[in-house]
Structure 1
Amino acid sequence: MNGVPSENELVPEHLPGGSGGVWKVGRTVRRPTGPWTPAVHELLEWLSDQGLGGIPHVGGLDEDGREIVSYIEGRGVPVDDEVVLDAVLVEAVTWLRDFHDIVEDFRPDGPRTWRQAGEVELEPGQIICHNDPGAYNWIVQSGHFVAMIDWDLAGPGERIDDLAFLCWTGIPLYREIPVEDVARRIDLVVDAYGEWGPRTLLDAVVARMTTATERIAAGIERGDPGMLNLARKGEPERTRNRVAAFVERMPAILAALD
């Protein structure tokens, strides 16, 4: 006996999250799989081989058929109660740019099945996006961004889609904070990513979050368990209402950016 508990002796700990069904077991995270899992694992393993930090490492499947990925120490961001520090926001955006620059070279040899896109090939100009890089999927240690988790929604998209989604909860834009803070933090994002201006990014936020509501609705229609769990939390109507409220605030934000 070495005093180390076997896997069967470890007590699972349910982890919070919008899609549900995620458990911590020892130093690993377990979640349900789907037709998209092989593509996500291929992506994560490729990114790891390229040296991208801040991602979970794939450990295969457990005896219950759940995926196994490494547990990353730190804390999540309670987005409804907290606005992340400017430094954390900039670090997250810088990580996203690094990820996008690396994943540009990930070109699978044929179609892959992704959770929301289905079985598709990458189109010219597309990359594989994280597709859910909200602040609730950031891991923070000692006041610094260290990782992006929950890759199950990864799939084809454009770079600005991911950045817009990050801004929704990272700035945040989905709820009201002082307009001067919004404008200042948008400028931080724009400078850190280095690709688009503030107005282009804000328009992309409206488009991307509208797409998010459509994807949630389609997932509910398909019976996707994760999307059904979001429905119990008021989606997609909750996000539709938040997008409408954000559009009403946009003129004041744009004025503050001038």
Structure 2
Amino acid sequence: MSEMREPAAGSAETPLPGGNVGGARRVGDTVRRPTGPWTPAVHALLNHLRRAGLDSIPTVLGIDEQGREILTFLPGRSIGADTDHVSDALLTNGVRWLRRFHDAVRSFRPAGEVRWRHGTRALADGEIVCHNDPGAYNWIVDGDDLVGVIDWDMAGPGLPVDDLAFMAWKSLPLHRELPPDVVAARLGLMADAYGDIAPAAILAHVERRIGRAVDSIEAGQRRGDPGLLNLARIGEPARTRTELAALRERLPAITAAL
């Protein structure tokens, strides 16, 4: 892991809002978060992205005396989990950032098997390291501009469309019941902002991606992962299973609107 650092003398710790996995605290201009066996891989990822010139990500500063990772604090407004229907302009900017991230991460190819939060494996052909949790609740914004993306501990191997489908689920948001024409328009907006993908392709991947997320959360809870156990307190992943079933019922109308 990175070098050990201690808080500056007299620095107060302030719990940061948002995030259901929990544990982030602000100390001065830094953020301290719990670590795990996946942390070295996440830090290697963030360091690569920083060298590649990706904007709006935290810088890894080290590990503190309590074993927590130290990241730079990204100033701006965080979006609460209950405010997931972001404006068209902000959704567009979020997807454009996602494309920049995917372009920057393609050259990050760790050798062999790597330990990530949801398991140990190597990258398969066609895969990249995805953020895996790019919902608006992990965005830092200034008006309709995205100025930061946080909570990288769920990162791991996947397909680019996995991140797009997750963003559509949480930030379009497909997990809420919206008029089919609104959903179709926002899927079109996402596809145009990302490029090289059709709105129907994003929609078609959502059930697979979110179903896998549910399975991963359940597996992590069985392993005793404290952060994923926190999700049980808000009814996850049972709540998502219910929302996914409701989306299946709406799919014919959304498809027709596309």
Aligned partner of 1:142 in structure 2 is: 143
Aligned partner of 1:112 in structure 2 is: 114
What per-residue deviation string (whole Å, max 9, x for no partner) do you get for residues 131-155 of structure 1?
A: 1101110111132111211000101
CA contact (8 A) 2:84 2:137 kept: no
Tell me the secondary structure at the aligned position of residue 139 of structure 1.
strand
Change (3 A) 1:117 1:195: farther
2:192 corresponds to 1:191: yes
Aligned partner of 1:27 in structure 2 is: 29
Tell me the secondary structure at the aligned position of residue 140 of structure 1.
strand
Tell me the secondary structure at the aligned position of residue 77 of structure 2.
coil
2:183 corresponds to 1:182: yes
Alignment of 1:57-68 (within 5 A): 57-68=59-70
Partner Cα distance (1:25, 1:12) in 2: 5
What per-residue deviation string (whole Å, max 9, x for no partner) do you get for residues 18-73 of structure 1?
A: 10111111111111100000010011001100101111100110110100011101
Tell me the secondary structure at the aligned position of residue 7 of structure 1.
coil
Partner Cα distance (2:84, 2:95) in 1: 18
CA contact (8 A) 1:79 1:169 kept: no
Partner Cα distance (1:251, 1:163) in 2: 21
CA contact (8 A) 2:84 2:173 kept: no
The Cα shift of 1:178 comes to 2.6
Alignment of 1:11-160 (within 5 A): 11-15=12-16, 16-118=18-120, 120-160=121-161
Partner Cα distance (2:199, 2:138) in 1: 23
The Cα shift of 1:8 comes to 4.2
Partner Cα distance (1:79, 1:64) in 2: 28
Code of the residue aligned with 2:117 in structure 1: it is R
2:220 corresponds to 1:219: yes
Code of the residue aligned with 1:245 in structure 2: it is A
Partner Cα distance (1:105, 1:229) in 2: 34
Tell me the secondary structure at the aligned position of residue 9 of structure 1.
coil
Partner Cα distance (1:142, 1:77) in 2: 11
Partner Cα distance (2:10, 2:177) in 1: 46
Deviates more, 1:202-211 or 1:75-84: 75-84
Identity across the alignment (%): 53
Partner Cα distance (1:80, 1:205) in 2: 20
Q: Could you tell me the TM-score, scaled by structure 1's length?
A: 0.94
The Cα shift of 1:190 comes to 0.8
> How many residues are aligned here?
251
CA contact (8 A) 2:84 2:171 kept: no
Partner Cα distance (1:8, 1:133) in 2: 34
Partner Cα distance (1:171, 1:198) in 2: 12
Aligned partner of 1:235 in structure 2 is: 236
Deviates more, 1:175-184 or 1:43-52: 175-184
The Cα shift of 1:82 comes to 4.9
Partner Cα distance (2:248, 2:183) in 1: 14
